[in-house]
Structure 1
Amino acid sequence: MMKHFLILSSIISLSLFSSDKVGRLPVYRIAVEATSSSKEAITIRDFIREKIQSTGRGLVTPTLKESELGVWEFDKEGNPSEKTIISLERLTSTDKLLLVSTEDGQAVISFVDVLHKKVEYRTSLPDSLSKTLVSDFLGFLDKKNIYLALSETGSGSPNAQLRINSLKSTYIAGEPIRFEIESAEDNYVYVVLIPENQKGEPVLLFPNQFQNDNFIRKGDRVTIPDKRISFKASSTPSKDRIRAFASREEWKEFQLRGKKEDSFYRLLPPAVTGTKASIKPMVASNTLTASIEQSPVMEWEYQILSR
């Protein structure tokens, strides 16, 4: 049975997080392991563990037991072998698996999504550039953490900061999606599309390249997107989420990616596989993640049906 949504008049009700999620930042549980016994691989592994733990970028899980180590084999597209799938299924208390190895004078880092059984990130550099290798990876992890914050956090508030009008709970593939947002106070407003199952990149719907002023004064109403932009339900059936954040401060730390012809911004770069990451670490990622977590958020889910 299709999930129904509570609608009060024409306003979608808020889906605020309970108090147990307020005041803490979600982080991935990361197992960091060396797949080779070389001194270089062990050194890099220990250094990454320390950096992740000391900077709060993740919760480093205890070293895997011999029975959990298993086999770690992935093809060029990042897909695991059958034996590796069995090994990943044993990691019930781990979100991500970071594998470090050294071979032929190269240091290699592979970052595996345990749930979806897929390599998200893989890059290599000469052993002499291991610090750059680690820095590139931490930059990627910073952006993954921001994605997690956008997807899973938000502080509850007894008084709703935002109101949404004219949003339906179901759309037909290709159908235009447009809604109106109103702020109960003067706020910077950020509206983000979260793809189903977090498999895709988050998309910033507002502000966008045509509506670049996202400061909404009390009582003002803004249509998102405006008539200059086309935002349509995806061509395949799915169940996506849209989250709207109200912030007293502008999130200046956002690193956005978009071409001139794009209407909306991508918040994260695509996963890097087999090449050196060219992404600079986000210096203020912890600040931005905290800002996201502390901002009141409203969330709604809509289902896309096939034609």
Structure 2
Amino acid sequence: MKRFLVIFSVASLSVFSADRIGTTPVYKIAVEAYPSTEESRALRDFIKEQIQSTSRGQVTATFPDSEIRTWEFDKRGDATIETKANLQSLTQVDKLVLVSTEDGQALISFVDVLHETLEYRNALPESLSKTLVSDFLSYLDKKNIYLALSHTGASSSSQVKINSLKSTYVAGEPIRFEIETTEDNYVYVVLVPENQKGEPVLLFPNQMQNDNFVKKGERVTIPDKRISLKASPSPSKDRIRAFVTRDEWKEYQLRGKKEDSFYRLLPPAVTGTKTLARSLTPPPTLTSPIEESLVTEWEYEILSR
């Protein structure tokens, strides 16, 4: 398993399906009403329609409404033994959405099926169920952005170049490289985990290099000497992916904790921010611009000492 000793940086977990390469990168999602009531089934069907109509995911069937299943998680978000058995039966699914409406509250939970853990949970009064769905879709958008970054094909025609004197590193050695653009653009540089478990880490912009508008011909060292990015003790191959955009991503602000050097997209349920949209129109997905971007990829190897 690939790991990075990134000082002051923590990356959370996500799952990728290997068979998505060459297709639109979205998760295979099952949506379950639990417990199955008329209200929870109505909310479940609404969420399924929102995911399908916006291509945010590939929705698959789960269990008949007549089957009673247990979906329980401990305080850390780990599935109980009975829940693990239920998740293991979902062999063609990446994620599971659990929907419930009880005691005047609407609840949405998002489960990582492969790792049997709870990723997201948020609840609001039933009267604000549309706001709850919008909040969840915003979280799903962020997951899909990372998925798109991980799977968009590399191109030699990209407007950003990655320059490095080395293709191999030893454990604990600092990693640095340069980027250069052929046009004035906003540049985003992402470290993509090899093992397809770790969430990609945004290397640029970062806390010390927060201005990511790079002018034509300008060379930027990533990370600069104020930040440390070190190769892990485990041998592996890693990918650095760089792409450009004409407009800065303002709606999806890339941010981190104060003590972090590198950023990650924080889900709304963690930051406490809520989408106030009250219409039936879902927020637009942002994966299409990424899928259409020309990406530069640099792969290097980490050797054991």
Question: What TM-score comes out, normalization by structure 1 length?
Answer: 0.76
Q: Which residue of 2 aligns with 1:144?
A: 143
Shift of the 27–213 alpha-carbon distance from structure 1 to 2, 3 Å rule, reads: same
Aligned residue for 2:286, secondary structure, equals helix
- Aligned twin of 1:111: 110
1:112 positional shift: 0.7
Q: State the superposition RMSD in angstroms.
A: 3.5
- Residue in structure 2 matched with residue 298 of structure 1 by the alignment: 296
Partner of residue 39, structure 2: 40
Q: 1:120 offset after TM fit, Å?
A: 0.7
> Which residue of the partner structure matches residue 177 of structure 1?
175
Instruction: Map 1:218-229 to 2 at 5 A.
Output: 218-229=216-227
CA deviation after TM superposition for structure 1 residue 34, in Å: 0.5
Which runs of no fewer than 5 residues in structure 2 stay unpaired? 3-19
Distance apart, 1:250 and its partner CA: 4.0
Matches within 5 A, 1:96-135: 96-135=95-134
Task: Specify the alignment match of 1:80 in structure 2.
Answer: 79
Secondary structure of the residue aligned to 2:41 is: helix
Look up the SS of the partner of 1:232 in the other structure.
strand
Query: Where does residue 10 of structure 2 map in the other structure?
Result: none
Amino acid across the alignment from 2:273: I
Cα gap change, 1:262 to 1:279, in 2 (>3 Å): same
Q: Structure 1: where are the runs of 5+ without partners?
A: 3-19
Count matched residues: 283
Shift of 1:288: 3.4
Matched, 1:278 2:292: no
Change (3 A) 1:255 1:46: same
Measured in 2, the distance between the counterparts of 1:234 and 1:285 equals 38
Query: Separation in 2 of the partners of 1:287 and 1:31?
Result: 19
- Give, in angstroms, the shift of residue 297 of structure 1: 1.4
- SS of alignment partner, residue 190 of structure 1: strand
1:196–1:241 CA contact under 8 A, matched in 2: yes
Using the alignment, how far apart are the partners of 2:234 and 2:103 within structure 1?
A: 44
Equivalent residue of 1:111, what SS?
Answer: strand
Aligned amino acid, residue 139 of structure 2: F
* Shift of residue 88, structure 1, vs aligned partner: 1.6
Contact 1:208 1:263 in 2 (8 A): yes
User: Displacement of 1:157 after TM fit?
Assistant: 4.7
Question: CA, structure 1 residues 239+159, in 2 after alignment: closer, same or farther (shift >3 Å)?
Answer: closer
Partner of 1:136, secondary structure, is: helix
How far the C-alpha of 1:25 sits from its partner, in A, is 3.2
Query: Does residue 1:61 correspond to 2:60, yes or no?
Result: yes
Q: Given that residues 57 and 142 in structure 1 are in contact (C-alpha distance below 8 angstroms), is that contact kept between their aligned partners in structure 2?
A: yes
Contact 2:204–2:223 (CA<8 Å) still a contact in 1?
yes
Distance 1:210 1:45 in 2: 43
**Secondary structure of the corresponding residue to residue 207 of structure 2:** coil
Amino acid at match of 1:39: E
CA contact (8 A) 2:162 2:177 kept: no
Same amino acid, percent of matched pairs: 66
Partner of 1:13: none
How big is the shift at 1:306? 6.8
Q: Which residue of 2 aligns with 1:51?
A: 50
CA distance in 1, matches of 2:212, 2:276: 22
Q: Distance in 1 between matches of 2:164 and 2:256?
A: 28
